[in-house]
Amino acid sequence: MHLTSTLLTGALAVASASANSNYLGFNSGATLADRSAKFKKDFEAEFKTAQALNGAPGKFNAVRLYTNIQAYATDDPIEAFEAAIDTETYLLLGIWASGTTDISKELSALKKAVTKYGSKFTDLVIGMSIGSEDLYRNSVTGTKNEAGVGADPDVILSFIKDYKKAFDGSALAKVPIGHVDTWDAWTNSSNKAVIDAVDWIGVDEYPYYESGKGNSIKNAGKLFDKAYDATRAVAGSKPVWVTETGWPVTGKTWDEAEPSVENAKYYWDEVGCRQLFGKTPTFWYNLRDSNPDNTMKFAITKDLSTTPQFNLTCPTTFDTDSSDSSSSSSSSSSTATRSSSGSSTSASAPASTATGSSNNSSSSSSGSGSSGSGSAGSGSSGAGASGSASGSAEPTSVNKNSGAGKMVASSSVAGILALVGAFYLL
């Protein structure tokens, strides 16, 4: 029997939904390089540039935020929300969790945003990260590297419960919950409870910082694969999202790693193009630099020009052999649906101040986070999480036009295409 036009149209629609599920984006802190607050116009300029990058291997229409609070405010929603609505940019939200025992201000800012913007805001939210590299900061490596005060697993678990309680029954209850950390934090068995509690795992990984491991640019792809595979191994069935990775264009030589525009391009090709883009949600570090204290600069553009510092077009062949890496399998592109889960030497990674609440005793207690403030432990500066909800079933009430809804729709793509193929053979 021949494939009917109706069936063909349906198959193409399913393929399109699948393509839309693996988001491309950048990280965005709450302040500019001079530590002044970003406002709507600043975020809007970033989002518009990201979507219009010349030669990009896809549309970078997603952004990862580190906090929900406007810089130097108490609990006002960050103005990135309104900019995202106006530019149709998907949001991977973050709740800053390091150095605090209370996330009530983060939750208050979110509630205000839901009340003010409604579904225009919630439909764009593709994930919620409770914390960023908190486990790394409190690890032996993080302490050695003076990474700052983090949070232990039980604190992250309590914050996850706080979030779920605050948004039970609301549109945000359908958003998959994750946590972002370094790959060596994820592979530390003492943190397994966090893996069990989330729907996806976010990993920040920077081979550039992997001193003593042969971290030359030519070996960067292999180092990334090793860390990525290790994260996926402990994640089990949960999807791993790459929440930070990149190579600096300027800065100091780090062991064998040399910053340059040429090396940044090589890393983009060997890690981004070969391994990540179109396969798993990926948030590159970075579109523009925000941290004046970091001597390494990662921005792929100057002054938010849509013409990048290097050619973003992906090559057709690569130097890195992916045959040894199981992470290149299509399973890594699985995205999380609604939560049904239970409730080395390294240098610090690029930090870009995310926000600062002037009313908090601890600058980190209200999202004074860092964009890429990660460990470089085991070569990772921020490790992310994989996470499809363990054993979660497709939610029945997800808005199919929302970010979470598209991710849910894509989860059944393989089965539908298989059915189409079987029908064709009848």
What pLDDT score was predicted for residue 307? Answer: 98
- The rounded distance, in Å, linking the Cα atoms of 74 and 365 is 11
> Which pLDDT score is estimated for 56?
98
Query: Residues 134-140: what's their mean pLDDT?
Result: 96
Please report which helix (H) or strand (E) contains residue 355, including its range: none
Average pLDDT over residues 370-390: 36
Predicted confidence at residue 142, as pLDDT, reads 93
Average pLDDT over residues 408-424: 40
SS3 category, 119: helix
Whether residue 398 is predicted with pLDDT greater than 60 in this model: the reply is no
CB 202 within 8 A of CB 383: yes
Q: pLDDT tier at 391 (50, 70, 90 boundaries)?
A: very low
Give the C-alpha separation, 25 to 127, whole Å. 13
Establish whether 270 is a catalytic residue.
no
pLDDT in tens, 34-55: 999 999 999 999 999 999 999 9
pLDDT at 323: 75
pLDDT of 226 over the 70 cut: yes
pLDDT over 90, % of the chain: 69
The angle at the Cα of 157, spanning 235 to 402, to the nearest 5 degrees, equals 70
Per the rule left: phi > 0, alpha: psi between -120 and 50, beta: everything else, 323 is alpha
The domains located in the chain, with CATH, are 24-284 (3.20.20.80)
The sign one gets for the Cα dihedral 375, 357, 366, 63 is negative
Tell me if residue 262 is catalytic: no
3-state secondary structure of 132: strand
Which run of H or of E encompasses 201?
strand 200-204
Q: Which amino acid is at 185?
A: A
* Beta strands in 114-168, from DSSP E residues, in sequence order: 125-132
pLDDT band at 384 (very low <50, low <70, confident <90, very high): very low
Residue 402: the pLDDT is 56
Q: Which two tokens stand for residue 157?
A: 């678990």
Give the Cα separation of 290 and 276 in Å (integer).
24
DSSP state of 346: -
- From the list 9, 227, 45, 310, the residue with the least C-alpha distance to 219 is 227
d(CA 289, CA 301): 9
- State phi, psi for 216 to the nearest 5 degrees: -70, 160
Q: How far apart are CA 245 and CA 274, in angstroms?
A: 14
CB 246 within 8 A of CB 26: no
Q: Which of 44, 205, 244, 270 is catalytic?
A: 244
The CA angle 251-257-259, to the nearest 5 degrees, is: 30
Q: Which of 46, 133, 205, 270 is catalytic?
A: 133
Backbone φ, ψ for residue 342 (5° rounding): -60, 155
* Apex 135 CA angle, 132 and 140, nearest 5: 135
**How high is the mean pLDDT of the chain?**
81
Mean pLDDT is lowest, of 302-306, 352-356, 393-397, 417-421, for 393-397
User: Which secondary structure element, helix H or strand E, spans residue 425, and what is its range?
Assistant: helix 413-425
Residue 106 has pLDDT above 70, yes or no: yes
Cα-based angle 221, 61, 243 (whole degrees, multiple of 5): 40
Condensed to tens digits (0 to 9), the pLDDT of residues 154-169 reads: 999 999 999 999 999 9
For residues 21 and 368, the model is more confident at 21
Distance between CA atoms of residues 223 and 207, nearest Å: 6
Mean local confidence (pLDDT), 75-100:
98
Q: What is the pLDDT of residue 420?
A: 39
Percentage above 70 pLDDT, the chain: 71
3-state helix, strand, coil in the chain (%, to 5): 40, 10, 50
| 89-113 average pLDDT score | 97
Please tell me what DSSP assigns to residue 77.
B
Cα-based distances in Å from 386 to 136, 139, 425? 16, 20, 36
Higher pLDDT, 361 or 109: 109
